Every structure is written in structure tokens, then in C-alpha cells.
Amino acid sequence: MHKNVALLGAGSWGTALAVTLARNGHTVKVWDIDTEHLQTMGRDRENKKFLPGVVLPKGVMPEADSNRMLAEADVVVFSVPAQHFRQAFSTAAEHIPGDALVVNVAKGIEQNSLLRMSEIAFSIREELRYVALSGPSHAEEVGLGMPTTVAVASPVRAWAEEAQDVFMNDYFRIYTNDDIAGVELGGSLKNIIALGAGISDGLGYGDNAKAAMMTRGITEMTRFGVRLGAEPATFSGLSGIGDLIVTCTSMHSRNRRCGIMIGEGMAPEEAVQKVGMVVEGMYTTDAAYELAQKVGVEMPITEAIYGVVHGEITASEAVNRLMSRSKKHENEDALLKI
């Protein structure tokens, strides 16, 4: 089942997916806005900037002409930062064949519009075979062929199953899911909690604090997701608790690394610069905070992290604020049947 794949975005995750797809026997043409970076990848047969140590198979070919690449594609993969997805998709949309499968791997909520990535895509092009791919998946490990499991979600199950067939192999296992809202929100919101877990680590707190952050974080994510139409069970799956675990505990996680530096006293802007790549949680914090206010959902962890990244409170004050909240029943949300 050979496919011509057009992949936009030659960062670490895009490169890892390109390598995986090529190993599956597909032809993968990769385009990136940074043409010099793309040329270097083609020459070195390696993405030394974002994914060093992973050799690009013959099936991965850098492509300077994105329009031609898209026109020939059976599958189009968007691996651009969430806040740039609208621009990338708007530019590409008219060149994507009507029968092509579109797979987006960005995790975030767009600032200002407060839309998920699928909502942006369908607002630009209503007739679209769209799939979201999300789950616990560090590019550094996928690129090396380490066992990884993710979920693909779509409004039409057959589209998710098609993506499952295209991506799945003996180390990259794919599960399908019908809840695209839940899968997209889980992948987005976990980055906020990972910032919090990193801040906790940077402050020198222990495993108890991080476990509390993660556990109450998944409750907050679920409460928010259900209010926006997602299924509660999705947040117990790969794109929810699975992605939360890996992002909150690994040094591969940009969000956790950024949080650690903030917890150690570094200014948020400087911490982002030190990471050197996009820290999606910084943008999603703003969007989720605003959207929670709009729909009337209580999100104490998000509110605390929002205060920290905007310099309204210190990291220590954020922890004190969370620890001194009024008494609650652990399963209060279940009792209220949100």
C-alpha cells in the first residue's frame, strides 16, 4: 500500500514521522519554510538541527516546491506549530487533492480565535478528509524506532482507519478514536500541566507534588474537555493521561524543561529562548485560560500557570495558591455530573 506523502514542517516531530512513513514503504516529500534548513537536511541525510542521530531513509526527500508536492499527494501531514497552522493550511488548502487524507499532528488551541486545529481546517475547507494524530510520542524515540503508541481521531471512522494503516508498523502502534475534540484537547492541555510539573521540579519539590499536579491536572483537563463536547473516557487514554505522563516526566519535553527553568527563577521569555524550539504550552495556557473564562469552567492549575507566565505571581506563590484553595471532594466533578 504505497502512498505519496507530502509533509509540511521539518522540525523534530515532522522528521521522525517522515522517517517512520518511509520505513513503511511510502515516498515522503518534506517541505519547510526554512529553505536553508531543508537543503542542509538533503545534503546531510539527517536533521542535525532538530533530530540528530537519525539517518533519513531514501524514501524521505526534501522538496522546495510545496505546491507540486501537495498536488501529487495521497496523504498530507501538517507538522507545524499550532499557532502557525492556520497560515500553513490556508496557503496549502487549494493545492490539496480532494481525495487526499489530511493528518495534523500539531497540539494546541489557537490564540484569539480559541479554535482547535480541526475547527480551523474545516472553516477554511469544509470538504476535507481530516485526521488528528496525538499521544505520548517523543520524536527522539520514534526516530530511533523505539516502541510508541498513539491515537488517530477523525469525524469519520474510515478516515482514522486509513491513517492507522498508513502510519502503523511494528514499533509505531496506532489506535483509532471517534472523539476528535477530546483527542485534540488532551494533546493541547497536557502541555499546560507539563509546564506546571516542570515548575514544581524547578522549585525543588518532590515526586509527591508532581504526582498531585498530574492527577489534578487530568481532572482539570477532563472537566474542560467535557464542557466543550469531548468524551470523558478520552482523557483516560493515550491522548490524555498517556501524553500527560510522558510530557510531565521526560527531559525530552520542551514544556517540562521550560517549566523547570521558570521554577528555578528564570523569566518565562528567557526560558523559552533557552529551550530553542516552540514551547506550545506557553501559547495554549493563554488560549485555554481565555476559553475557560468564556465557557465558565474552573481551571485552577491553568489559572495559576497563566499568572506565572505573565509575571502576575511567582512560581512559589502559584503553588501556595493551589495548596490553599477551599476544601473539595476528590470526585466532586463526578458527583456534579459535569
Q: Which residues contact 213 (CB under 8 A, 6 or more apart)?
A: 193, 196, 197, 200, 248, 301
The torsion angle over the Cα atoms of residues 233, 237, 240 and 244, rounded to 10 degrees, is 140
Buried b (16+ CB within 10 A) or exposed e, 140-173: bbbbebeebebbbbbbeeebbebbbebbbeeebe
The sign one gets for the Cα dihedral 336, 151, 242, 196 is: negative
Per the annotation, the verdict on 49 as an active-site residue is: no
Task: Please list the residues that pair with 75 across neighbouring strands.
Answer: 5, 101
* Secondary structure percentages of the chain, helix, strand, coil, to 5: 55, 15, 30
Measured CA to CA, the distance from residue 285 to residue 304 in angstroms comes to 10
Q: Under a CB-based contact definition with an 8 Å cutoff, are residues 305 and 311 in contact?
A: no
Q: Under a CB-based contact definition with an 8 Å cutoff, are residues 152 and 132 in contact?
A: yes
When computed from its CA atoms, the radius of gyration of the chain, rounded to whole angstroms, is 20
Measured CA to CA, the distance from residue 95 to residue 89 in angstroms comes to 10
Strand pairing report for 148-153 and 172-177: parallel
Q: Please provide the size of the chain in residues.
A: 338
Out of 29, 107, 190, 210, the active site residue is: 190
The interaxial angle of helices 180-202 and 315-323, nearest 10 deg, is 110
Please identify every residue annotated as catalytic.
Answer: 190
